[in-house]
Amino acid sequence: MEDEASSTFISFTKSPLLIDEVSDSNFSDYAIPDAKRMRLDHDLNDVATVEKFKGVVPQQNGRWGAQIYANHQRIWLGTFKSEKDAAMAYDSAAIKLRTRDSHRNFPWTRLSIEEPNFQSKFSIDAVLSMIKDGSYSSKFSAYLRTKSQICDSNIQNLQTIENGDRDGHFSCSHLFQKELTPSDVGKLNRLVIPKKYAVKHFPYISESAEENSDDIEIVFYDTSMKTWKFRYCYWRSSQSFVFTRGWNRFVKEKKLKANDIITFYTYESCGRDKNGGTLIFIDVIYKKPEDDRSESSCLAAERESIKNEQLQRELGLDREDCPIDLVAVSIVALSPSPRNIAIFYKMSTTGAYYLPMCTLRNSKLSSAKLRNVYNVSSLKHFQLNSITLSSTRTGKLATSAMAGSNEHQPVSGLPIDLKGKRAFIAGVADDNGYGWAIAKSLAAAGAEIIVGTWVRALNIFETNLQRGKFDKSRSLQDGSLMEFAKIYPLDVDFDNLEDVPENIKTKKQYAVCKNWTVQEVAESVKKDFGTIDILVHSLANGPEVSKPLLETSRKGYLAAFSASSYSYISLLKHFAPIMNPGGSSISLTYIASKRIIPGYGGGMSSAKAALESDLRVLAFEVGRKNKVRVNAISAGPLRSRASKAVEYIDSMIDYSLANAPLQKPLSAEEVGNAAAFLASPLASAITGSVICVDNGLNTMGVGVDSPTLKGLYLLNPN
C-alpha cells in the first residue's frame, strides 16, 4: 500500500494530542457539516435505536448489507454483522462518493472527522475495496494512531530542550507510506521506492546515468531520534529507485516483516529559530498477523505489561519525577548535567509522551536491559561522563528477515535452507525454461536471486516482467512472488570488452547496454553485492543445431562450443573469485553428450560432451583454489523458448515419456529442486558429478516402444 498525505501544522505551545482528542482546528481542513439526522447522543458507541438506516439492506441470513448509489449506479459495499456496521460503511463510502453535505446515518465526531483526510490518500476503488474486505476500520485506526504519534510531544520537548525555545513551531508533513513486500524485508537487501514518491520527495537522481553512478546518502530519524543512513540510487536494470546500503540493518533492528508499513514524514522548523532545518523521519506500523490489525512501533510498547515498581527501582527516579502508571520508556538525550537523562514516558496506555528530566541514581543500568524489559524498539546508549550520545547496536538483534519463520520454507521432506545465500543465474530470459525453474526453487529455499539475461532478449524479458506477464509463474508456495535482486545484461560469447567486434558494439541492443561481457558483469556483481554463494550456468546456443554433424560448418561448430561449453569456463574464471568458500556452481547438460540423439546436431552433442569433461577438471581446480563445488544436471527434454530451435523437440519429449522407467512428464520444477539440493549444504561432499534428472531415461539401452519389443512382459506389468 502506498499513499500520500497532506501537510499538517503543529504548534508546540499546545498540549500533546491524544488519539481520542484530535483538535479539529489543528488537524483538519474539512468543515464539519450539520448532520441532517442525529443518530447518536454523543459518540459512535451510543447508538440510538432507529428503525432504518440509509443504504442498509437486511439479508435473509440475518446479516445486514450496505449499498450506495453514485453516478446513477448501485455500488454494493458488502454484508456486515450488524445494522450499525452496515450504516457506518455507507457513511464511509458517502465521504468518497458524495458531497460534504450529503446525508449521513451518524453525525460527525472528533474521530470520524478525520475520515476525509484519511480517504484523500486513496483512490475511490481503494476505499471501496477496504470497505468490502473489512479492512477499512483497522487501517483507519492505524492512521489515527500514526497521526497522533506524529503530533506527540517527544519531538516537541526534545527540540525545546535543545533550543531552549518553548514558542517554536514545526510544520509536519506526512510524505507517503508503503506496505512492505516479502522482497523488501527478505533476501534482496533493498527497498524499492515508488517512482511517483521518489521524484517528489527525495533528491533528484538521473534515470539515464550509468548504473549506480549517481547515488547519494539520505539521513533519516526514527521516533527515538536514532539516525539511519540509507544509500539512495536508481537501478536501470530494474528501472526502480531503491534504498540499498543501510536498509538491511534497519530491517533487522526494527524486526520488519512483509505487510508491515513504513511511513515517511518531515518536520520543518518555522518558528523564530532561523537555524532550524528539515528533518526526515521514518517509522513503522507493524501488522499483527493474529488479528490482521496494524500498530505503530511507537505505540507497540503500550500493549506490553510493564512492572512499574521494577522500572522505578532500575531507573532510581526521584519520586516526584516518576509517574505512577509508567508504561513505556525511551531514552533519547542527556541534559548538560551528567546525572540527568531525558526520558519519554506515558502516564497511561492512552496518554501522550512526555519528556521530563529525571535524575538517574543507578549508573549500572544499561540500554540493553531497558530494551529487554520495556520493549523499546530503539535506544541510545548513554555515558554518565558525557553529555552526548553515540549510536549503539546493543540489545538483542532481530533474526534476519531472510530467516523469517515461514518465508520460502520447503513444503516437506528434508529441509533445504538457503536463507542468506545469494545466487547468480546466467541464462534466464523467460518463465518456461530450466533457468527460471532453478531460480524459483532457489528463491523458495530462501536464496537471493540475481540473473544475467542475454542482451538481445533483455528488453522483452524486462518488459514482460514489469507488465506482470510472469506473475503467475513467479508465485511461490508461501504466496509471495519470486523477486530478482537485479537483472544484468550478459553475453557469454565475450569475456571482456576487448573481445567484442565493432559490428557487435554498434548493434542497437548492445549500444544501449553497458557492462555486459562476462568480466564486466562479474565486476558489477561484486560492486553491487560483494559476494555470491551459488553460480548457475543455464545457457547454450548452437546456431546450426538443426543440421546433421556432417553438414555443420566450422563457424557453427565453434559457435556452439563457445556459447555452450567455454562459457562455463569463462563464468567460473570471473565469478569463482567472488564466491564464498563452500559455494556451489551448477551447469546444465544433456544426454546427447553420451548417447546419439538424432536431430540434436550442429556440434551441440560435442559441446555437451566437452562441458561434462571440463566439469571434472573445473571441479578440481576451483575446488582447490576457491573451495567451491562444481556439478551439472543432465536434464531431460523440455518445451521452452530455447528448445524450439530443435526441430524434433516434441518427438524427443514423446520418446522420453514412452521409454523412461518413470512414465510421467518431466517438469522444470523437478530440475529446479535438484539444483537447490546441489546448491545446499546437503550436497557438501558432491562435486565433479553429473546428476541425471530425466525420469531415468539415461539408464535405458534400447527404446522399449520399438515394435520388436511389443511382447515384452515388463511393458505391460498389469
Instruction: Output b/e per residue, 106-119; b: 16+ Cβ within 10 A.
Output: bbbbeebbbbbbbb
Neighbours of 237 (CB within 10 A): 20
Relative orientation angle of helices 434-444 and 668-679, to the nearest 10 degrees: 50
| Distance from C-alpha of 589 to C-alpha of 645, rounded to nearest angstrom | 16
- For the chain, counts of helices (H) and of strands (E): 23, 24
The secondary element (H helix, E strand) that includes residue 182 is helix 182-185
Scan for cell 514489469, then name that residue.
466
**Nearest partner of 397 among 187, 255, 297, judged by Cα:** 255
| Distance from C-alpha of 636 to C-alpha of 642, rounded to nearest angstrom | 14
| Distance from C-alpha of 437 to C-alpha of 431, rounded to nearest angstrom | 8
**Nearest partner of 202 among 169, 185, 167, 178, judged by Cα:** 178
Tell me if 452 sits within 8 A of 423, measured CB to CB.
no
| Distance from C-alpha of 559 to C-alpha of 557, rounded to nearest angstrom | 5
Question: Could you say which of 265, 345, 600, 648 is catalytic?
Answer: 600
Tell me if 450 sits within 8 A of 427, measured CB to CB.
no
| Distance from C-alpha of 434 to C-alpha of 669, rounded to nearest angstrom | 8
CA geometry: angle 82, 85, 91, nearest 5 deg: 145
Helices (H), 426-584: 434-444, 455-466, 471-474, 502-505, 508-511, 518-529, 554-561, 567-575
**Nearest partner of 481 among 490, 492, 469, 493, judged by Cα:** 469
Local structure of residue 547 (DSSP, 8 states): S
CA distances from 128 to 89, 115, 125, 341 (A): 9, 13, 5, 48
Handedness of CA 200, 204, 208, 210 (dihedral sign): negative
CA geometry: angle 671, 674, 680, nearest 5 deg: 145
Grid coordinates of 16: 500533546
Helices (H), 535-580: 554-561, 567-575
Q: Which residues pair with 7 in a beta bridge?
A: 173
Give yes or no: 566 in active site: no
Neighbours of 191 (CB within 10 A): 25
| Distance from C-alpha of 562 to C-alpha of 71, rounded to nearest angstrom | 65
**Nearest partner of 5 among 264, 188, 261, 215, judged by Cα:** 264
- One DSSP character per residue, 509-531 reads HHHT--S-SHHHHHHHHHHHHS-
Grid coordinates of 195: 517512482
What does the chain come to in residues? 718
SS3 assignment, position 77: strand
Grid coordinates of 61: 441470513
Question: Could you say which of 488, 566, 568, 590 is catalytic?
Answer: 590
| Distance from C-alpha of 681 to C-alpha of 671, rounded to nearest angstrom | 18
Neighbours of 178 (CB within 10 A): 19
Grid coordinates of 636: 531431460
Give yes or no: 510 in active site: no
- Which residues contact residue 29 at a Cβ distance below 8 angstroms, ignoring those fewer than 6 apart? none
| Distance from C-alpha of 179 to C-alpha of 573, rounded to nearest angstrom | 41
| Distance from C-alpha of 569 to C-alpha of 575, rounded to nearest angstrom | 10
Local structure of residue 319 (DSSP, 8 states): G
Please identify every residue annotated as catalytic.
590, 600
